[in-house]
Structure 1
Amino acid sequence: MTTATPSYVHGASLQPLLGETVGGLLDRVAAKYPQRPALVVRAQDVRLNYREFHAEVERVAAGLLALGLERGERIGIWAPNRAEWVVLQFAAPKAGLILVNINPAYRTHELEYSLNKVGCRALVLPRRFKTSHYLAMLTELAPELATASPGQLQAARLPALREVILLDQQDEPGARRWTQLAALGDEAALALLRVREATLNFDDAVNIQFTSGTTGAPKGATLTHHNIVNNGWFIGEAMRLTEQDRLCIPVPFYHCFGMVLGNLACVTHGACMVIPGEGFDALTTLQCVAEERCTGLHGVPTMFIAELEHPRFGEFDLSSLRTGIMAGSPCPIEVMRRVVGEMHMADVTIAYGMTETSPVSFQTVPDDPLERRVDSVGRIHPQLEVKLVDEAGQVVPRGTPGELCTRGYSVMLGYWDDPARTAEVIDEARWMHTGDLAVIDADGYCSIVGRLKDMIIRGGENVYPREIEEFLYGHPKVRDVQVFGVPDPKFGEQVCAWIVLRDGVSASVAEIQDHCRHHLAYYKVPHYVRFVDAFPMTVTGKIQKYLMRDAMAAELAP
């Protein structure tokens, strides 16, 4: 009798982990590639090579120390993609501070919660971006700012906050301008920076990222130098990045996709970070890739769809593209094929992970056959372990769905000041329980089949939305689709599909259902079909199925 192979994989590798802080990494790379381009921010006309970028990071890090910020204190950044964001991403850890990423879409109550949850001592923000009037929202929470001296804020609703730093050339009571911060980085402050850096360890906390609060208040995933430096390194290795590469990064920095898969993947390899704009715009991104001759492009599937479907897509020479990452939500097979064929991204990779694991655990590589790059998220990253477990915590056999659990250097320290919620996801053996349902095949390739909470149980049958979505993406009229379960008195749940049709076409519910009936088991055929213009989603492109589920439940309520 043979025993089935368990769903356990490990990334045994001859590639050692990097034992560096974020600041130490930048010191080494800038010394090796001083004249190579480091940062291009088109909207701000910023172009810095690694020597110049390193010098700016050092000035800002020293300026932060000149403000009196102590090791381990938190500094928040509430801003879209700008040059200052990238500089602060490296300056804060160099100064021994913890950078707190604040979602640019947050409103006042979310800002108040975030700043107070982690006790931010300083906050960096622009006056406004699009319809978000950041300074006005902050002043609403801290009216004391109008009469405070810079660095002396004492606000009743934001008790830890002392420093407000504006990404603006206009003076504001109680705040400093970014240029004034950098000017504080004089020789004395730089000497203090050298002393501070000598005390830092790569296991120190360096970054707090708030996970989406779909099931309660947001949680502050706390990451170390070791977490994000190594994850950025191995991500870049999978992409085959070198100092010759120029990566277009239209995904937001406040999320791991921008700051780790983008910025840190570049810096660990001496590549250039190319920022097309403050927020995603398909046309601006296409122009950026063509004019800057970018070799890589990141995006969530909805971004790639928007680029491919743009009426001016054919005008742009994208032949410089080679690689990039599609991640953030399930990657439709048809979209992936078009990205490879029409955008010249033959080496595009798929990555899977979560904020709490820095984030990537699985990634495809250019050597993987195309079919494996469209039907899986690749194989395990170096130096990590993954197992799939059932409800009892037992490892399931290969080919059987189970909850994906990750262990290794990438697992966060925990949720900031929240031991109870940390214990819910990190067990005693340091396995991070992701809540994702996955299957690992005989060759070690992993496919994500859904979230534990997204799995539909219809009349006792387990239905995985991803399978139905992938099938419907193949329909010639379907541009995008999301499948989820809605409550049903007879079956417990019924399958519902929300569909975005291609421009200029129409379809009926019966047409979609008949198409499914010819190819899918009866219990997988969507009982409800709705045609919509767009899906509710987060700033990072993550689909919010719970909002769709709520809307359908309200519609179907007697």
Structure 2
Amino acid sequence: MIFQGGITVGDLLDRAADLNPRGEALVYPDRDLRLTYRAFREACDRVARGLMALGIKRGEHIAVWAPNVPQWVLLQFASARTGAVLVTVNTSYKSFELEYLLKNSDVTTLFLTAGVKDADYIAMINELCPELAHCLPGRLNARKFPMLRNIVFIGDQEPPGMYTWEQMLWMGEAISPAELRARQSSLDPDDGVNMQYTSGTTGFPKGVMLTHNNLVGNALGIAQCLNFGPEDRLCIPVPFFHCFGCVLGTLTCVASGATMVPLETFNPVKVLETVEKERCTALHGVPTMFITELEVLEKQNYDVSSLRTGIMAGSPCPMEVMRKVVERMNMREIVITYGQTEASPGITMTRTSDPIEVRVATVGRALPGVEVKVVDPATGEEVPRGFQGEICARGYNVMKGYYKMPEATAAAIDEDGWLHTGDLGIMDENGYLHITGRLKDMIIRGGENIYPREIEEFLYTHPKVKDVQVVGVPSLKYGEEVMAFIQLKEGCTATPEEIKEFCRGKIARYKIPQYIQFVPGYPTTANGKVQKFKLREQAIHELGLYQAARVETA
């Protein structure tokens, strides 16, 4: 049954814990962490009381900047039980992007770890908030971020100016379970519960406001299409900061009483080891992840016979990769989900019962409770089946809007409640959708959505850059790579490495152009508009990317 109203994320967890108290909810094999649904709910409630002790009110924005650590999952459900809105921060963000998010989102509390790979989160937040070094925890008064008062560190250190996770839990002992129950019972399913930043065509990301109804409805629909139940164990190597991880992953498990088996960061060997050790029945991933897992399986054998299903999504799914995953990884019921953050995120999905031909060649049909149509972008009129047009969706899953951006919201959702995705597609006679292109000027690299305008705005700050045009070019590994065509100011010279070095540490690594070409000008239309499709064609020819350009996707 799909709930389209009347249930919050907190209610969903209560339902799972009541129906399956002894079933495993959350497992981290490397940490020797195993929580039953009863223990998981108790742990979430302890964190929720800690949040209330920090003074966090219903509707308040709190952010989490961390890889897939256990505390992330606890925060997801604990914040929902208190009525807070969890703002998810991309783990690849550098100071330039973090500063914008903290200013725009009105976050009052930031949770963070020490960092990932070469990213030092403690150093970055201290650079942005020099006041941290001299303030008491909970008393931050940052010039750049007047709303931000609490920073909570997840880890073994005790950085100056920050609470530790354990200190927050200890403070929560002062809040009674009855106070938490009263808070949870006061919440409305139409309240915001999550905010995720998606890159914007205006050059700056937009905060997508998602409600309990949005996320719970989507999780229940996804669980139904996956045929998920308490006997399922889902390996989750996709990041929690995207809807793929925290809706199609954790929330879908709770919606069905299944077991969450996350990986803190993606590693194909660790994925296969986890599937074998934990006898996972399902595995999620973007195409790039499955490609690298298949490469590992060519060299080394792992027992993946327990696998049954999972979702491939996040970027166009190559048909040949889908077939190999079915054959080599035993994922006979693997499915594709299509959507976007603004749709919580699922819009269409193939079903486990669909023939393999349908599951590799389409992105499925509408999820339960969701309407989908294809319209002429010029007129807005629905086109006949078999004709290309813009994909539009309507239903419980459509976002509340973009935070503090009413004009952008109105541009995305029309007066009749239809979300205009900016994606082009064809719907067949049976309602199955095939993605054919994009109206939006967006690059999808390994599951990360990148708007060229954001990179262009940043590169304009380079003192030698006169003009820049960024496009996506085909890639066998990532689906697309970023390429920048740069016009330099008169008398200036530069190298691609110099431009890349300028980007390092300031924008996320996945946004740094893989290819850079210095050009005297750009192909334009009669009225002077740059023809980016011609730049893409030029790049395919000059870089010899013909094989990648020919890959068929669903």
Confirm whether residue 280 of structure 1 aligns to residue 253 of structure 2. no
Is the alpha carbon distance of 1:172 and 1:256 closer, same or farther for their aligned partners in structure 2, counting shifts above 3 Å? same
For 2:224, the equivalent position in structure 1 comes to 237
The whole-number CA distance in structure 2 between the counterparts of 1:33 and 1:343 is 29
**Displacement, 1:428?**
1.1
For 2:86, the equivalent position in structure 1 comes to 99
Confirm whether residue 248 of structure 1 aligns to residue 262 of structure 2. no
For 2:287, the equivalent position in structure 1 comes to 301
AA aligned opposite 1:86: V
AA aligned opposite 2:544: R
Is the alpha carbon distance of 1:122 and 1:483 closer, same or farther for their aligned partners in structure 2, counting shifts above 3 Å? closer
AA aligned opposite 2:396: Y
AA aligned opposite 1:23: G
TM-score by length of 2: 0.81
3-state SS of the aligned residue for 1:52?
helix
The whole-number CA distance in structure 2 between the counterparts of 1:35 and 1:533 is 51
For 1:60, the equivalent position in structure 2 comes to 47
**Displacement, 1:75?**
0.5
The whole-number CA distance in structure 2 between the counterparts of 1:235 and 1:415 is 24
**Superposition pairs of residues 529-548 of structure 1, within 5 angstroms:** 529-531=543-545
Confirm whether residue 133 of structure 1 aligns to residue 120 of structure 2. yes
On the 8 A contact 1:59/1:183 being kept in 2, the answer is no
**Displacement, 1:352?**
0.2
The whole-number CA distance in structure 2 between the counterparts of 1:66 and 1:484 is 45
The whole-number CA distance in structure 1 between the counterparts of 2:105 and 2:525 is 46
The whole-number CA distance in structure 2 between the counterparts of 1:387 and 1:58 is 41
Question: Residues 104-144 of structure 1, C-alpha deviation per residue, up to 9 Å, x if partnerless?
Answer: 11111211111111110000001222111001100111111
The whole-number CA distance in structure 1 between the counterparts of 2:117 and 2:480 is 28
For 1:326, the equivalent position in structure 2 comes to 312
**Superposition pairs of residues 379-398 of structure 1, within 5 angstroms:** 379-390=365-376, 391-398=378-385
On the 8 A contact 1:245/1:294 being kept in 2, the answer is yes
AA aligned opposite 1:306: T
Question: Residues 8-35 of structure 1, C-alpha deviation per residue, up to 9 Å, x if partnerless?
Answer: xxxxxx7453521111111111111111
Is the alpha carbon distance of 1:221 and 1:211 closer, same or farther for their aligned partners in structure 2, counting shifts above 3 Å? same
On the 8 A contact 1:498/1:532 being kept in 2, the answer is no
**Displacement, 1:197?**
1.2
On the 8 A contact 1:299/1:326 being kept in 2, the answer is yes
RMSD (CA atoms): 2.6
AA aligned opposite 1:204: D
The whole-number CA distance in structure 2 between the counterparts of 1:531 and 1:206 is 43
**Displacement, 1:252?**
0.3
Confirm whether residue 78 of structure 1 aligns to residue 65 of structure 2. yes
Moved more, 185-194 or 384-393: 185-194
AA aligned opposite 2:88: N
For 1:503, the equivalent position in structure 2 comes to none
The whole-number CA distance in structure 1 between the counterparts of 2:441 and 2:405 is 25
Structure 2: state its 5+ residue gaps: 443-473, 486-521
3-state SS of the aligned residue for 1:393?
coil
Question: Residues 234-278 of structure 1, C-alpha deviation per residue, up to 9 Å, x if partnerless?
Answer: 1011111100000000000000000000001100000000012x2
The whole-number CA distance in structure 2 between the counterparts of 1:533 and 1:46 is 44
For 1:142, the equivalent position in structure 2 comes to 129
AA aligned opposite 1:530: G
For 1:266, the equivalent position in structure 2 comes to 253
**Displacement, 1:527?**
4.7
**Displacement, 1:230?**
0.9
Percent identity, aligned pairs only, is 48
The whole-number CA distance in structure 2 between the counterparts of 1:498 and 1:251 is 33
Is the alpha carbon distance of 1:376 and 1:312 closer, same or farther for their aligned partners in structure 2, counting shifts above 3 Å? closer
**Displacement, 1:293?**
0.6
Is the alpha carbon distance of 1:490 and 1:418 closer, same or farther for their aligned partners in structure 2, counting shifts above 3 Å? closer
On the 8 A contact 1:364/1:378 being kept in 2, the answer is yes
**Displacement, 1:483?**
9.8
Structure 1: state its 5+ residue gaps: 1-13, 456-471, 500-525, 536-542, 544-558
**Superposition pairs of residues 428-467 of structure 1, within 5 angstroms:** 428-453=415-440
Confirm whether residue 111 of structure 1 aligns to residue 98 of structure 2. yes
**Superposition pairs of residues 18-37 of structure 1, within 5 angstroms:** 19-37=6-24
On the 8 A contact 1:65/1:192 being kept in 2, the answer is no
3-state SS of the aligned residue for 1:185?
helix
On the 8 A contact 2:423/2:439 being kept in 1, the answer is yes
For 1:359, the equivalent position in structure 2 comes to 345
Aligned length: 476
The whole-number CA distance in structure 1 between the counterparts of 2:30 and 2:545 is 36
The whole-number CA distance in structure 2 between the counterparts of 1:279 and 1:370 is 30
**Displacement, 1:186?**
2.1
TM-score by length of 1: 0.81
Confirm whether residue 69 of structure 1 aligns to residue 83 of structure 2. no
**Displacement, 1:47?**
1.4
3-state SS of the aligned residue for 2:348?
strand
Is the alpha carbon distance of 1:212 and 1:313 closer, same or farther for their aligned partners in structure 2, counting shifts above 3 Å? farther
Question: Residues 171-228 of structure 1, C-alpha deviation per residue, up to 9 Å, x if partnerless?
Answer: 2221111112122232633222122112100000000000024641000000000000
Moved more, 382-391 or 16-25: 16-25
Question: Residues 493-545 of structure 1, C-alpha deviation per residue, up to 9 Å, x if partnerless?
Answer: 5485799xxxxxxxxxxxxxxxxxxxxxxxxxx6555359999xxxxxxx9xx
**Superposition pairs of residues 142-541 of structure 1, within 5 angstroms:** 142-186=129-173, 188-213=175-200, 215-276=202-263, 278-310=264-296, 314-390=300-376, 391-453=378-440, 482=480, 488=523, 493-494=533-534, 496=536, 527-531=541-545
On the 8 A contact 2:268/2:289 being kept in 1, the answer is yes
On the 8 A contact 2:3/2:220 being kept in 1, the answer is no
3-state SS of the aligned residue for 1:340?
helix
**Displacement, 1:490?**
9.9
3-state SS of the aligned residue for 1:349?
strand
On the 8 A contact 1:398/1:441 being kept in 2, the answer is yes
The whole-number CA distance in structure 1 between the counterparts of 2:2 and 2:417 is 23
The whole-number CA distance in structure 2 between the counterparts of 1:329 and 1:89 is 25
